[in-house]
């Protein structure tokens, strides 16, 4: 899907400087390797997630910083090349019907130099690091980058390796995008896989990957839609704000599809917090289960695409109120926490909420890009 459009002019945005600051945060968060750090001030997030970084690269493209986006994509290619042996072994095992332990699978996040994370090296914490959505996100965003006019001199072997890996792994259980639930399959994960396989098909002119993407999309539609809504998991009826991915940017369901419309409106009704931001899911206790900036932007992005100007305005205005004096955006706002008593335990464990979070700034820019016809 070609998405070329005029670059986002942050200098002309009536946003009090948040657009320009968001670009500044993204550029400052890029390591010499090309990796994009999740948060420069939050020790546990000083890694590079393929998923977060892919959306940050998309935002850099939107803001006309094509070179920085390209450096991220080259870093992913080099990182995949470094771990090719592991990937090939995993693909062979999965194709043979054997699912390796989660700890042996390719990780969701890497050190900024492309090395594997050493479990427990930061604050003694060992936490899940197996997701496949990041590899799908990267393939999709690399294709988008090329289609926006980025360099077509990508590493075809790296693209093929990532596509073969997710094609082999998508049927296996993995952790969700929040690295919390690892006992099943998740709709947003499969959306990223399908979109990534479609991206690989376009990049490599490989129809077989498009056929595999169609299989994943059909699994999503038949196994995850119940009572007119998309559900978080094949066996999990909860709403999760990451379900918005199915519409934007992955277009597993068109934004105007009645099922997608109903799902988005259920997210708006059930996951909107008391101050106006969007929760990840009901029952979240991470830092009290606050309202997430990036997810509020995602709903604003969806609203911009579907022509809901009041919804977009509400999301944009709420997000602008969440900035620090330096115009940094955190991961979440604790003001509308679902479980306020759970804020302090997390602060004692990991420190204050991650601020700035690059993904939050990226989603702000992408929300604004989607609303360009209105600005």
Annotated catalytic residues are 176, 179, 331
Q: Give the count of beta carbons closer than 10 Å to the beta carbon of residue 339.
A: 14
Give the single-character DSSP code of 115: P
Q: Across-strand partners of 229? A: 226
The answer to whether 280 and 242 have CB atoms below 8 angstroms apart is: yes
In contact, 273 and 339? CB cutoff 8 Å: no
**Tokens 């709420």 map to which residue?**
318
What Cα–Cα distance (Å) separates residue 99 from each residue in 17, 181, 182?
A: 48, 18, 14
Contact (CB, 8 A) for 311 and 268:
yes
CA-based angle 4:300:286, to the nearest 5?
120
Q: Which residue has the tokens 């979070």?
A: 357
SS3 214: helix
């Amino acid at each position: 899907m070609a998405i070329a459009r005029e670059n986002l002019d942050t200098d002309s945005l009536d946003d009090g400087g948040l657009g320009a600051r968001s670009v500044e945060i993204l550029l400052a968060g890029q390591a010499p390797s090309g990796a994009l750090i999740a948060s420069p001030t939050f020790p546990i997030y000083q890694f590079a997630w393929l998923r977060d970084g892919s959306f940050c690269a998309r935002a850099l493209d939107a803001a006309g910083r094509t070179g920085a986006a390209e450096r991220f994509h080259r870093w992913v290619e080099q990182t995949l090349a470094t771990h090719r042996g592991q990937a090939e072994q995993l693909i062979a095992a999965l194709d043979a019907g054997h699912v390796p332990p989660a700890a042996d699978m390719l990780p969701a996040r890497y050190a900024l130099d492309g090395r594997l994370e050493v479990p427990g090296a930061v604050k003694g914490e060992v936490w899940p690091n197996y997701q496949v959505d990041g590899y799908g996100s990267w393939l999709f965003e690399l294709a988008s980058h090329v289609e926006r006019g980025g360099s077509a001199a990508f590493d075809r072997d790296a693209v093929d390796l990532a596509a073969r890996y997710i094609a082999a792994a998508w049927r296996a259980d993995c952790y969700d995008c929040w690295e919390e639930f690892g006992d099943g399959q998740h709709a947003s994960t499969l959306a990223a896989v399908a979109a990534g396989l479609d991206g690989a098909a376009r990049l490599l002119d490989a129809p077989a990957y498009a056929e595999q993407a169609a299989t994943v999309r059909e699994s999503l539609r038949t196994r995850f839609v119940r009572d007119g809504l998309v559900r978080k998991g094949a066996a999990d009826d909860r709403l999760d704000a990451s379900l918005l991915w199915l519409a934007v940017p992955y277009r597993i369901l068109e934004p105007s599809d009645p099922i997608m419309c109903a799902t988005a409106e259920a997210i708006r009704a059930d996951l909107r917090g008391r101050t106006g931001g969007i929760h990840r899911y009901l029952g979240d206790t991470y830092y009290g289960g606050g309202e997430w900036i990036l997810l509020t932007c995602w709903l604003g992005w969806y609203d911009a695409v579907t022509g809901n100007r009041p919804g977009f305005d509400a999301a944009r205005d709420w997000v602008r109120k969440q900035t620090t004096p330096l115009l940094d955006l955190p991961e979440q706002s604790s003001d509308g926490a679902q479980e306020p008593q759970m804020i302090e335990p997390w602060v004692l464990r990991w420190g204050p909420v991650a601020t700035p979070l690059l993904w939050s700034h990226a989603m702000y820019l992408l929300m604004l890009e989607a609303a360009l016809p209105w600005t």
